[in-house]
Each structure stands twice: as structure tokens, then as C-alpha cells.
């Protein structure tokens, strides 16, 4: 798999990473430890060197799984994790106080069984703590050798600029896909100007763009998509038009919808590294296959023209979570 560089300080990652959240959190029952470790190690065998976790994904359980899985090849991979929620629990609100960031760093190093965190993201901007103080704290951790690079997640342009002035931001992680293109307005131009990499999460629209979900799909009671307006039954039915577009391109390319959705993202900018997540080995292999799909300028243009006629309906977050993004 080819590599991409995030930020100006040379953080090199595989062009596709692996989002590990769903292995323990958010999308229904957790995978077994054995299955999760096998999936992560298979990803590495397929060329993935970029793995994404967070304290908030099961308060250390996700990080511990990842640490155990990559131990045999730790020095050959990039591990990203995140701080920023009270007690590591997103339901309790944000907390990026200096002492909290330092405590999370120490805990994450222990859970991941590593000496250094390659990329340490602020999970959500904390309106109660100046972003300059957050960047300053991470800068101290970098100087102490505990962290290598600083990242932000779902941050707005002003916060990114303020943080970057204190400590170069290596990467921004936010949602971006064919059915959520808001970052194109202000975020992507800002990242390009400042030399910051972009790590799209939910590049497959939380599974919707794979074509495996329709209006009759029933989610596990613990699956957070039950709370997402975009995933209401009527909105899933309306949004099927986007899936149909992607399927038509996939059929012409002898590919799958997921592969086309990922290939489209990879074609946008050379400093974008999406992190699709999955619990299924065959989906992992399918996703990685996207790196072999070449979309021409004509292909991209055709997708753009068709997508412009499709209105995606439904908010991507329930209101209380929407209030935390773009700050």
C-alpha cells in the first residue's frame, strides 16, 4: 500500500488507515478480543500502518486491544488516540484541562503498552479551555517524548488556526464522505493553506455507502445509529439515491460501492488518509481493495455532476452532539 504524509513534520501513514472504534464501541456488541486482534493484524498484513483509537472508546479497552494487537510490529505502525472527554466518557461532556490531558496521556501509554503516542488528538474542542493552553500542554508532552504529533477532531477553522500558531497541527480528523461534504467549504482550504493533513472518519457514511443498509435494516439496540437523524427509516429511503449513484460507478469499474466511496476520497487530496472501520474480515479486505481503484478526472467529474442533483437528508448528529462540532 502506498504512503501519504500528514502535516509538515513528516508523519507518514498508509493511505488507508483502520478506525478501531467499532471493535468495542458504538456499533452494537463488541467483537471478541481474539477476533479484534486478528482483524488488526490482518490489516497490517494488508499494508495498513495507521490505527485509530481513543480513550472514549470504552475507557481504555479499545486502546488495550490495539496495543496488544500491534505489539509484534509496534515500531512499524502509527498509533493515534484521543483525549478530551470527562472521565473518558463522551456522555459526560468535554474536559481538556491541562491535568486531564496529562492524565489521559499517561493512561493511554499504559493501555497501548507503548513508550510514545504517535498522534494525540483533542477529541472535541473544549469551550472552557483556551485552545492555546491545550496546544501548549501537548507541546510539553512532545518535548517530554511522550507524544510525537498533535491532532484535532471536528474542530472549526478559528480553533485550528489558534492551535496551529502555538504548535503545528499534524492532522484534523472529521467526518467526510460523498454524503457529508461540509469540510469542502472552509476546512479543506484551511488545511491546505496551513499544511495540515486530513483524516476522514466515517468515510463510508457509517456503513450506508456500502449498500448494505436500506430502510428496512434493523440496528442492534446499542448501535448509536439509532439516534442519528440521517438514519431514520424515511431518511434512509430518501438517501438511497446516493448509494445508487455509487453502485452505478462501481458496476462500471468492477468494484464495490465501498471501494468507490473510498477511492473518491483518496482522489480528493494527496494529504487525505481515510480510516474506515469494520469488525468483519471480508469487509476489511474489501476496503483495502479501494487503493487499487483508479478514478480518472472524467470519473470524478461524472460523480460530481450526478451527486450535485442528489439532496442528502437528515442531520449527521442528534442535536446535543451537533453542538460539540465545528467549535
- Among all residues, which ones are annotated catalytic? 57
End-to-end CA distance of the chain: 34
**DSSP secondary structure string for all residues of 183-240:** GGTTHHHHHHHHT-EEEEESTTTTTGGGT---TT----TTBGGGG-GGGSHHHHHHHH
Q: State the virtual CA torsion across 121, 127, 130, 134 in degrees, nearest 10.
A: -20
**DSSP secondary structure string for all residues of 27-81:** BSSPPPHHHHHHHHHHHHHTT--EEE--TTTTTTHHHHHHHHHHGGGGGGSEEEE
The answer to whether residues 46 and 111 touch, using CB atoms and an 8 Å cutoff, is no
Pairing of strands 169-175, 18-19: unpaired
In three-state secondary structure terms, 16 is coil
Helices (runs of H) and strands (runs of E) counted in the chain = 11, 9
For 165, which DSSP code? H
Task: Find the helix or strand (DSSP H, E) in which 168 lies.
Answer: none
Most distant pair of Cα atoms in the chain: their distance: 54
Amino acid at each position: 500500500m502506498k504512503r501519504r504524509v500528514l502535516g509538515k513534520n513528516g508523519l507518514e501513514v498508509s493511505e488507508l488507515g483502520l478506525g478501531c472504534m467499532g471493535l468495542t464501541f458504538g456499533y452494537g456488541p463488541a467483537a471478541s478480543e481474539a477476533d479484534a486482534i486478528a482483524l488488526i493484524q490482518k490489516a497490517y498484513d494488508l499494508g495498513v500502518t495507521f490505527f485509530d483509537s481513543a480513550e472514549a472508546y470504552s475507557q481504555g479497552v479499545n486502546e488495550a486491544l490495539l496495543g496488544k494487537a500491534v505489539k509484534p510490529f509496534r515500531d512499524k505502525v502509527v498509533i493515534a488516540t484521543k483525549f478530551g472527554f470527562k472521565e473518558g466518557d463522551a456522555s459526560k461532556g468535554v474536559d481538556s484541562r491541562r491535568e486531564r490531558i496529562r492524565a489521559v496521556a499517561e493512561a493511554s501509554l499504559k493501555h497501548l503498552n507503548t513508550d510514545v503516542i504517535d498522534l494525540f488528538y483533542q477529541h472535541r474542542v473544549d469551550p472552557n479551555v483556551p485552545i492555546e493552553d491545550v496546544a501548549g500542554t501537548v507541546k510539553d508532552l512532545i518535548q517530554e517524548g511522550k507524544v510525537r504529533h498533535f491532532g484535532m477532531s471536528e474542530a472549526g477553522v478559528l480553533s485550528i488556526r489558534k492551535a496551529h500558531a502555538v504548535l503545528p497541527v499534524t492532522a484534523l480528523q472529521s467526518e467526510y464522505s460523498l454524503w457529508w461534504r461540509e469540510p469542502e467549504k472552509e476546512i479543506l482550504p484551511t488545511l491546505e493553506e496551513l499544511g495540515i493533513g486530513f483524516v476522514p472518519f466515517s468515510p463510508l457514511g457509517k456503513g450506508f455507502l456500502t449498500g448494505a443498509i436500506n430502510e428496512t435494516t434493523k440496528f442492534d439496540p446499542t448501535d448509536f445509529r439509532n439516534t442519528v437523524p440521517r438514519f431514520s427509516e424515511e431518511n434512509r429511503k430518501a438517501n438511497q439515491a446516493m448509494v445508487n449513484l455509487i453502485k452505478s460507478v462501481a458496476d462500471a469499474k468492477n468494484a464495490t460501492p465501498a471501494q468507490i466511496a473510498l477511492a473518491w476520497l483518496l482522489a480528493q487530496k494527496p494529504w487525505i488518509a481515510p480510516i474506515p472501520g469494520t469488525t468483519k474480515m471480508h469487509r476489511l479486505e474489501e476496503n483495502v481493495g479501494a487503493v487499487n481503484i483508479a478514478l480518472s478526472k472524467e470519473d470524478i467529474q461524472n460523480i460530481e455532476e450526478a451527486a450535485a442533483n442528489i439532496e442528502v437528508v437528515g442531520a449527521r448528529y442528534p442535536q446535543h452532539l451537533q453542538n460539540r462540532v465545528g467549535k
